Structure 1
Amino acid sequence: MPTSAASTSGIWDCHFHIFGPYDAHPLPPNPIYTPPPAPFAEIRAIHAALGIAHGVIVQGACYGNDHSALLAALDTADGTYRGIATIDPDIDEAQLADMAARGVRGIRLGLMSHLGGAPDMGQMRAVLERIRPYGWHALLHGQIDDVLGALAVLAPLGVPLVIDHMARVQARDGVAYASFARLQETLALPHLWIKLSGPDRITDGIAPYLDAVRVARALLDTAPDRAIWGTDWPHPNIRYPRPDEAQLLAWIRALCGDAATADAVLRHNPARLYA
């Protein structure tokens, strides 16, 4: 089981999914979506080619609460990868403890209607109380106004929260509007983190995602010690050509602008969060 400490020596991909292989890890009946196979071995090969040493597997909504693929992958990774689960408030304590021992470090709360919609606020609070003893964090995945609504309820609880994919803002809207100002204000809280991932998603897939730079830089400047990055491989539920992981890594390095900032975003910040 992966129990070794997280390393600051290598780059982290803090957001990707795995699907399959389906003969070993089939989807449940009537999944929310049915992605092509994207097994762990494939992303590990991509990581090796790019010099990425660590990663975070985010449970795909199509798997529901079946974490067998995620946990099997973590079991083979010798502590170099971590996991993000999806749980219900009434999850068995032994199951939570087993997940923690095998490398899970947080949960994802989905706010996107096409991925099942938002749980009610009472369920969200209850889930955060279940993970608090483990020191886990929660990802919030939704569009900016839905994220802000959830933050108003959850941020006062003090559990670390990570905002996924730059709150799914529209890059064409820029940064000078009320919701973005509220996002920056909330992000100043010391237990709030931002994931500078999904530049393709906020620019309608228009590479090299130049319109996303202003948004990402504003968020990075707000929380430079709590900003992380991920590829979002294999980029499920998009309607444009799949982004190239090498290009995404080049994008975040260019955004950071200097070696110290890049080291913080790609190495030191995630090593703290996923220890």
Structure 2
Amino acid sequence: MSTPLVIKLGGRVLQSHSNLNALLTIIAQLAQLRPLVLVHGGGDQVEALLEQLGHTSLKVDGLRITPAVQMPIVAGVLAGDVNSQLVAVAQQHQLNAVGLTLAAGHSVRCEVDTSRGAVGIPQPNQPALLQLLLDKNFLPILSSIGADAAGNRLNVNADLAAAAVAQLLHADLILLTDVPGILDQDGELIESISVDQAPALIADGTVRDGMLVKLNAAVQAATASRRSIAVAGWQDAKALTRLAKGEAAGTRIRF
């Protein structure tokens, strides 16, 4: 089997049925090239329901603070609503999709980030379930809901979750975003960033908020796997196809 490709979905693509259909049309084509695993977030959907139910929502450095009392809502949105919608639309595109959480098959273990509430710090753990599904030509779709050793559900940043899954499977990783990749201070695409260059881009404010989390996740995955990691826009079918073939597109984070 060829090297798997982990693709993280998030942002506006999860908020629009037409956007989701367009992306899954591309993903169905990529699935003909190599085994795929999808990892998704859904922060905007979570935030909308929290506000509707009278909860406050707070982020620090692009990472959500999740009080334990909010976990039933967060898990319901991510592991329930968003995941089931993704599976259903993927199956419309003849993809043999299976919806999972990070905890399924002990795939990814989590420690609690006590500074952020019921938030998990993910680490690769057991590849057997995901590898079995890939061997049988299934498409695993993982929500970014994990669990700690005591069985408490945890909210996990989807970029960091995707990085952990990529490490678990020794896979390539694409972090999809709403822009073509990581941009410089003039709004121009940065085509390549080494792991040694990343701290300077963070320190001078070039990379911040949600993109800061993506860059940190990419650096983590690149360092652990010794592979370059891509950050790219979900709208560009040609770019995604090039990335699936190992060619340049978006921003490459190099180890």
Answer whether TM exceeds 0.5 for this pair: no
TM-score, with normalisation over the residues of structure 2?
0.39
Greater strand fraction, Structure 1 or Structure 2: 2
Determine which structure has greater relative contact order: mean sequence separation of CA pairs < 8 Å that are 6+ residues apart, divided by chain length.
2
